[in-house]
Amino acid sequence: MSGNGSVRLLSRHFGLPGQTHIETAMKRGAYEQFKRALKMKPEEVTALVKASGLRGHGGAGFSAGLKWSFVPKDVFPRYVTVNGDESEPGTCKDRLIFEYDPHLLIEGALICAWAVQAERVYIYIRGEYFYPARIMQTAIDEARAKGFIGDNILGSGWSCAVYLATGAGQYICGEETGLLESLEGKKGWPRLKPPFYPAAIGLWGKPTIVNNVETLAYVPRILEIGADKFLAMGTPKAGGPTLFSLSGCVKKPGVYELPTGVPLKTLIYEYGGGITENRKLKAVIPGGSSSHILTAEECEDLKLDFESVAAAGSMLGSAAVMVLDETISIPQLMVWMVRFYAHESCGQCTPCREGTGWLLRLATRIADGRGRKRDLDDLYELADNIDGKTVCALGAAVAWPTKSYIKKFRPEFEALIKQ
Amino acid sequence: MPKLEIDGKPVEVPAGTNLIEAAKRLNIEIPHYCFHPGLSVVGSCRMCQVEVELNGRKSLVIGCNTAAADGMKVIINSDVVERTRRSVLEFYLQNHPLDCPICDDAGECDLQNYYMRYGLHDSRVELDEKRHKHKVHDVGPTVVLDSERCILCSRCARFCREIAGVDELGIFSHGGESELMNVPGKLLENDYAGNVVDLCPVGALTDKDFRFKRRVWYLQRTPSVCMGCSRGCNIYVDWETERSYKNPQRRIQRLKPRFNRLVNEWWMCDRGRYSYHAVDAENRLRTLRTKSDTDPHTTLDQILERAAAKIKTAISKHGAKSVAVLGSAHSSNEDLFLLKKLFAEHLKVQSMDVTLGKEPKGKEDEILMKADLAPNRRGALEIGVGPWSDSTISGDDILSGALDGDYEVLIVVGHDITRGLSAKEQAKLDQNCDYILYLGTHDNATCALADDVISIAMWAEREASYTNFQGRVQKTQQPFPPLGEALCEWRVWNELGKKLGFTVPYLNVDDVFDAIGGSIASFKGLTWEGLGAEGKMLTGVAEPPYRKVQSAHPLAAY
Amino acid sequence: MDIPDNLIRKAEEIFFRFPPDRREAALVLLMFEAQRELGCIQPDTERWLAETVGVSPVKVREVLTFYSMFRREPGGRWVVQLCHNISCCLAGAENLQKLVEKKLGIKNGQTTPDGAFTLRYVECLGGCSWAPMMLVNEAQYYQLTPEKLDRIIEGLRSGKPVPPDEPTPLLGNVGEKNIA
């Protein structure tokens, strides 16, 4: 831990000259942990990651090591897909990993592939990330040239290929099964779970680990410092630090790597420099736009770890913290938020397909001052009718913010409804 | 086998049964759109959501994707379930066009039905904003698409891929703009396209043939068997004869497939589906005729007198070899049985067959269609009326023999023997055969050639049994009586027999059928009642193994 | 149709990324490359994709219309994709929208008559801490002010484009010199 309480574990080498080039990265330790992992048994690697308490940083927060252990024993081949679809509004941290330490990601993905004995790794980057994709492709080519990717890697007897794949502009391809559908060359329509849990039935029906970029980027560090030290950098239930994407009405927006469980107020005021123009804090969206909004009171003592945020009635999700000050209109925020989900709905199932558009119409009407008396209650009820009744979590992702905005800021909506 | 409770009622089901199917066993409906037992499970309509209590935990699940488990309690009428269903219905109806007054599906539409059963909520539809998509889109030669009405259950797209093995329909775009369509230049034109109309829960896909013909609540439905080929798919005949101010001659309004697990499952091909037009065609024979320049009218008795006289004379002068019978593989088991009894057994006629080489053949595939376009050639085989009968004389031999003058009396059922014959050859036939008796359903050149013509009833106008190519004996039920003076073929043989000294006590079709069992070994033990709704295999013929009716190269659902 | 050699080479490389019996998986990537090469995906390109990848035309159109980055009509020379999601709006994106509409004389989804610019408001581009953000074709620009936006557009018009913000600036503690 550095002097001012920040923990630069993953981002240790961000911004150092030449870090994207393999020679320079290797001088700073890149691929050393991969070499060590190859000398361990695959199950040992999985056990280590499990013990480290590493949780998924893509939004769901599922234990990474536990997910790796779900791969059925006798089913081959296996695959690893790195979820680089970073599209949750507010989230902007995976981008930095692609751009500043691509080899850390490749190393983490390779260690995961070794642990689950995968024969292919697909790094899936969203289509809009043109520059990061170029950096990643170069890095993959370098790693292959060095022999970290390919046949009989470093004489281990194990072969693994790594390829880049891109999306083409749909948030739903960040949903793990939506991603697999996209990788298979189809529309990103999420699959039914059960039975299509990727670890059991994934890419082309084979066991597939789908992990977020940040999650896998921590893996080499876990091997480096050990499970206990890693766990200690977070909470007992969520080990290691987290990359927080801080944005909105703060003086110093940016990506902050801090211990998981850091108090929200510390992030906003100590690191973020406080609210722009020293205004009053009104609300915070703690985990990307899909999370419930929290009032300033609710933020008072809040710690940013999965359990604490859940206990406060929201979720840590992708740790995308959006700060709202007193000048922000919640009804207007509702329109920006719902518009996103209405555009991103894949259309497969009814409540989301028909409901998101309807929510947008109602929210727009209210924000424009043309709201009818019953519109607010309808809006809440419709969101509730979508929540939990869809094929994938996008239903909940639009319902939770909608309901929480109305529940916690109702008078602001009512003020706009004149009839 | 898991034991569970649905709506408080206990039921035991085979492992792996989903909740919709489990509830069906108790005659309980769990409403659904995208689920179909013949297609893959996609769980996208969200209509079948029910509450399930297991191991102390209650959760809302989709019935189609939840396997029945031991000790499970399925709750289908709680507040949560009712509210969920109503909300899903509301989401569908929000953007659904108000087309009921002009939509074919009204009366059998699952949006209407479920709303009346599970909705009945006040509308929150905002009439000022309508979503526009393709209406009255010519998606293929037999189907019309209205993608505004479409509820995107994807049954049609999945059917084309998984069953027909072709990719002709897709769901394009995303979110609320999702639309079911074909691509330009590629129509919905596979041989099974009509099934998508059956599958569509709403009126998005409508049958061009049936469009605007009748409101479905006027239709009467009679189970029957398709006569399009030797597969014998089980069907329903939907008919209506009272509203004669519209297309008065059209009695059959449409055919629909009827589920039979071992014949056609839920499907039928388009060739069979649209084959019913023949039943009500303009050129149906409605009256009995005789060849006369002055007056073609005659009665059945008169015809049979003439026929019997001619037969008797021919046999006494030249022997039984001077009489030939060209029967039809479209005739029923009963028709063929009496044909054989009268001519082969009683009159000792040897020249008898049902097959002509020039009979039209159709397309055959591995799904349902057979090349043999006649429904009862197997029946003819079993009963002993050629093509492999005791007689070695084939239908082609009979026809060429008739041209050569080998026969005094020629009896033809069904076949238009003038096809492919030049005018000169037809004249030769007329000259060389002293007497030609034709039993047929439609007016054709053979009618003009024949000395006497008896109009016989078609399959949709009678109860009859037919044997499909696998040896399954199936029966039709009679929706409506034959047109005009037409009568069943077996009754003609019955009456003719009386004039030739051959009496049989058959009053009804089931008498005839039971008699078949008495003399044909493979029919032994079969009774008319016993045939039931799904038919029975011939005795000694094994039930064919269950096979999923689908293309040899199915495509994935998505 | 005439497929550029570049694209054919790219196609081979893309097919190589997938198992030989999973050729159809290349569809999304190949369509993406085809659009980069040809500007948009029109019916003859759809046909080429169907034949090359070995999938039905229905599948190709499904993919084409599903993903929001695919264009079926040619766009302007520069496609200005301005984010209008939460963090960018909190940082003033709506004001930028008014300015860019005025400057280019077009609205969302439209192309300038001279074919130079297409304007699209898009969803979160993953630049929230450096909001407001936009993409112009494949170039990323952050921390847009009215002045910076103006400068970028003028730069394109004058043939002296403003270099993109590559890499993304290191805001936050991730760029600090002190290391754990």
Contacts of A77 (CB under 8 A, 6+ apart): A118, A119, A120, A206
Report DSSP state, residue A311. H
Indicate yes or no: CB of B173 within 8 angstroms of CB of C66. yes
Q: Which residue has the higher pLDDT, B126 or B333?
A: B333
Q: List CB contacts (< 8 A) between A349 and chain B.
A: 43-46
**CATH class name, domain A330-418:** mainly alpha
Indicate yes or no: CB of B186 within 8 angstroms of CB of C62. no
Q: Hey, which chains touch A, using 3+ CB pairs under 8 Å?
A: B, C
Whether residue A294 contacts residue A314, with contact meaning beta carbons closer than 8 Å, is answered with yes
Indicate yes or no: CB of C123 within 8 angstroms of CB of A183. no
**CB neighbour burial string for B308-344, b if at least 16 within 10 angstroms, e if fewer:** bebbeebbeeeebbbbbbbbbbbbbbbbbbbbbbbbb
Whether residue A84 contacts residue A123, with contact meaning beta carbons closer than 8 Å, is answered with yes
Indicate yes or no: CB of C61 within 8 angstroms of CB of B168. no
Whether residue A193 contacts residue A187, with contact meaning beta carbons closer than 8 Å, is answered with no
Indicate yes or no: CB of A131 within 8 angstroms of CB of C164. yes
Cα–Cα distance, B416 to B359 (Å, whole number): 9
Interface of B with A (CB under 8 A): 41-47, 49, 60, 65, 83-84, 87-88, 90-92, 94-95, 124, 126, 129, 151-152, 171, 173-178, 558
Whether residue A16 contacts residue A28, with contact meaning beta carbons closer than 8 Å, is answered with yes
Partnered with residue C111 across adjacent β-strands are C118
Q: List CB contacts (< 8 A) between C61 and chain B.
A: 170, 172, 183
For B317-321, the CB contacts below 8 A with 24+ separation are: B317/B408, B318/B408, B320/B347, B320/B348, B320/B349, B320/B350, B321/B350, B321/B351, B321/B406
Residue of chain B whose alpha carbon sits nearest to that of A343: B175
Residue A155 to chain C, least CA–CA distance (Å): 23
Indicate yes or no: CB of C65 within 8 angstroms of CB of B168. no
Cα–Cα distance, B4 to B10 (Å, whole number): 6
Percent of chain B with pLDDT over 70: 99
Which of B174, B178, B179, B183 to mutate against chain C (most C CBs within 10 Å)?
B183
pLDDT at residue C150 tops 70? yes
**Is residue B387 reached through a cis peptide bond, with omega within 30 degrees of 0 on the bond before it?**
yes
Whether residue A94 contacts residue A214, with contact meaning beta carbons closer than 8 Å, is answered with yes
Predicted confidence band of residue B249 (pLDDT cuts 50, 70, 90): confident
pLDDT at residue C12 tops 90? yes
The order of strands in the sheet holding B289-290 is B289-290, B452-455, B435-440, B409-413, B323-326, B351-353
For residue B45, give the nearest of A181, A194, A350 by CB distance: A350
* Residues A270, A275, A280, A284, CA torsion sign: negative
Residue A385 to chain C, least CA–CA distance (Å): 24
pTM: 0.95
pLDDT of amino acid B387 = 52
Q: Which residue has the higher pLDDT, B502 or A412?
A: A412
Indicate yes or no: CB of C57 within 8 angstroms of CB of B183. yes
* Residues A293, A297, A300, A306, CA torsion sign: negative
What is the mean pLDDT of the segment spanning B340-354? 92
pLDDT of amino acid B282 = 93
Calculate the CA B50 to chain-centre distance. 36
Partnered with residue C119 across adjacent β-strands are C80
User: Within 13 Å and on the Cβ side, how many CA atoms surround C43?
Assistant: 4
Whether residue C124 contacts residue A90, with contact meaning beta carbons closer than 8 Å, is answered with yes
Indicate yes or no: CB of C174 within 8 angstroms of CB of A254. yes
How far lies B298's CA from each of A160, B306, B452, in Å? 88, 11, 9
DSSP 3-state of A371:
coil
Contacts of A287 (CB under 8 A, 6+ apart): A59, A309, A314, A315, A316, A317, A318, A319, A320, A321
For residue A350, give the nearest of B88, B171, B177 by CB distance: B88
- Per-residue DSSP letters for A64-96? HHHHHTTS-TT----EEEEEE---STT--SHHH
- What interhelical angle do A350-367 and A330-344 show, nearest 10? 150
Indicate yes or no: CB of B186 within 8 angstroms of CB of C58. yes
Indicate yes or no: CB of A14 within 8 angstroms of CB of C170. yes
Residue A168 to chain C, least CA–CA distance (Å): 5
Residue C169 to chain A, least CA–CA distance (Å): 9
Query: Would you call C71 an interface residue with chain B, using a CB distance cutoff of 8 Å?
Result: no
What is the mean pLDDT of the segment spanning B202-217? 95
pLDDT of amino acid A2 = 41
**Is residue A194 reached through a cis peptide bond, with omega within 30 degrees of 0 on the bond before it?**
yes
| Chain B, window 149-208: residues with a beta carbon less than 8 angstroms from a chain C beta carbon | 167-174, 182-186
Whether residue A189 contacts residue A74, with contact meaning beta carbons closer than 8 Å, is answered with no
* Mean pLDDT per 10-residue segment, chain A (419 residues): 64 95 97 98 98 96 97 97 97 98 98 98 98 98 98 97 97 97 97 95 97 98 96 96 97 96 96 96 97 97 97 97 97 98 97 96 95 94 96 96 97 89
- Per-residue DSSP letters for A194-247? TT--TTTS-GGGS-EEEEEHHHHHHHHHHHHH-HHHHHHTSBTTB-SEEEEEEE
Q: List CB contacts (< 8 A) between A135 and chain C.
A: 167
Cα–Cα distance, B294 to B385 (Å, whole number): 37
Calculate the CA B291 to chain-centre distance. 35
> Can you name the CATH fold of A10-232?
Rossmann fold (3.40.50)
State whether ipTM is beyond 0.90: yes
Contacts of A155 (CB under 8 A, 6+ apart): none
pLDDT of amino acid C2 = 85
Tokens of B532: 């039931």
> Can you name the CATH fold of B92-207?
Alpha-Beta Plaits (3.30.70)
Indicate yes or no: CB of A356 within 8 angstroms of CB of B176. yes
For residue A389, give the nearest of B84, B95, B558 by CB distance: B84
Cα–Cα distance, C110 to C75 (Å, whole number): 9
Q: Where do the CATH 3.10.20.600 domains begin and end in chain A?
A: 241-325
Radius of gyration for chain C, computed over Cα atoms and rounded to the nearest angstrom: 19
Q: List CB contacts (< 8 A) between A333 and chain C.
A: 86
DSSP 3-state of A181:
helix
Tokens of A343: 């555009």
Residue A181 to chain B, least CA–CA distance (Å): 9
Partnered with residue B183 across adjacent β-strands are B186
Cα–Cα distance, A188 to A176 (Å, whole number): 10
The DSSP element (H or E) to which A281 belongs, if any, is strand A281-285
Q: Hey, which chains touch C, using 3+ CB pairs under 8 Å?
A: A, B
> Can you name the CATH fold of B3-77?
Ubiquitin-like (UB roll) (3.10.20)
Listed residue (A185, A192, A213) closest to A124, CA to CA: A213
DSSP 3-state of A260:
coil
pLDDT at residue B446 tops 60? yes
pLDDT of amino acid A118 = 98
Question: SS3 string of B265-316?
Answer: ECCCCHHHHCHHHHHHCCCECCCCEECCCCCCECCHHHHHHHHHHHHHHHHH
What are the structural domain ranges in chain B? 3-77, 92-207, 289-537
Residue C65 to chain B, least CA–CA distance (Å): 4
Residue B32 to chain A, least CA–CA distance (Å): 12
Cα–Cα distance, A414 to A371 (Å, whole number): 9
Residue B5 to chain A, least CA–CA distance (Å): 22
Contacts of C16 (CB under 8 A, 6+ apart): none
**Is residue B37 reached through a cis peptide bond, with omega within 30 degrees of 0 on the bond before it?**
no
For residue C62, give the nearest of B170, B184, B185 by CB distance: B170
B289-537: in CATH 3.30.70.890:
no
pLDDT of amino acid B386 = 67
Q: Per-residue pLDDT tens for A246-305?
A: 999 999 999 999 999 999 999 999 999 999 999 999 999 999 999 999 999 999 999 999
**Which residue, chain included where needed, has tokens 């911004």?**
A15
Partnered with residue B221 across adjacent β-strands are B238
DSSP 3-state of B138:
strand
Tokens of A405: 């905005």
Predicted confidence band of residue B25 (pLDDT cuts 50, 70, 90): very high
Cα–Cα distance, B494 to B505 (Å, whole number): 9
Query: Would you call C61 an interface residue with chain B, using a CB distance cutoff of 8 Å?
Result: yes
pLDDT of amino acid B504 = 80
Report DSSP state, residue B18. B
Listed residue (C124, C175, C90) closest to A322, CA to CA: C90
Whether residue B333 contacts residue B473, with contact meaning beta carbons closer than 8 Å, is answered with yes
Q: List CB contacts (< 8 A) between A339 and chain B.
A: none
A241-325: in CATH 3.10.20.600:
yes
Average pLDDT across chain B, whole number:
94
**Which residue, chain included where needed, has tokens 């390919």?**
A150
**Is residue A77 reached through a cis peptide bond, with omega within 30 degrees of 0 on the bond before it?**
yes
